[in-house]
Amino acid sequence: MRYGPHSGSWSDRSGGHGGTRCRSERRGLRRILWQAAVRVPSPNLMIAAASQRTRRLRFANMVNILPFRNPLLVAEEAAMLDNLTGGRLDLGLGRGLRSPKFEAFAVDQAQSREMFVESFTLIRRIWADENFVHHGKYWTVVKNGPLSPPLVQRPHPPFLVSAQSEESQRWAAAHDIPFAQIDSRVERVRRDQTLYREVQVAH
CA-CA distance, 201 to 173, in Å (whole number)? 9
Residue % of the chain over a pLDDT of 70: 80
Burial of 97 (0-12, 13-18, 19+ CB in 10 A): middle
pLDDT tens digit string along 110-120?
999 999 999 99
List of the chain residues with pLDDT < 50: 1-18, 37-38
Structural domains of the chain, ranges and CATH numbers in brackets: 3-202 (3.20.20.30)
Query: Whats the size of the chain, residue-wise?
Result: 203
Mean predicted lDDT score pLDDT of the chain: 84
pLDDT at 27: 66
pLDDT at 30: 62
pLDDT at 12: 41
pLDDT at 40: 56
